[in-house]
Copies of this chain bind each other. A is one copy, B any other.
């Protein structure tokens, strides 16, 4: 069973962290067929840590976890912190496949998200 784990930076502001939880809910609905498990975790200021989220995915039956770094640019959090925390949290699950996807900012679709925001606000 496939799980999707979204890892965000996290903020001191609860309202900000709630945005990720709301995205998690939307993805859970949208990806129900291919990803029956969708979890989110925060690198800092965490309501849920990466280790806790990975444990939860495994408990729910995940055999593969796709990790999406929810970051716009590949700073140190993306290149170093997420890979090392994910490795540390998952290496004792010997039959678990964990793939770290490219960060969301690397998607070519970001340009069109911006275009559509500009169009919306101009109406």
- Which residues on A are within 8 Å of B, measured CB to CB? 4, 6, 8-9, 11-13, 15-17, 19-20, 23, 26-27, 30-31, 34-35, 66, 68, 70-76, 78-79, 99, 101-102, 104-107, 109-118, 121-122
Max chain B Cβ within 10 angstroms of own Cβ: one of A71, A104, A107, A114 = A114
Q: What are 26 contact pairs spanning A and B, CB under 8 A?
A: A6-B114, A9-B73, A9-B75, A11-B73, A11-B75, A12-B75, A13-B74, A13-B75, A13-B79, A16-B78, A17-B73, A19-B105, A19-B106, A23-B114, A27-B111, A31-B118, A66-B121, A68-B114, A68-B117, A71-B72, A102-B117, A104-B113, A104-B117, A107-B116, A109-B113, A109-B116
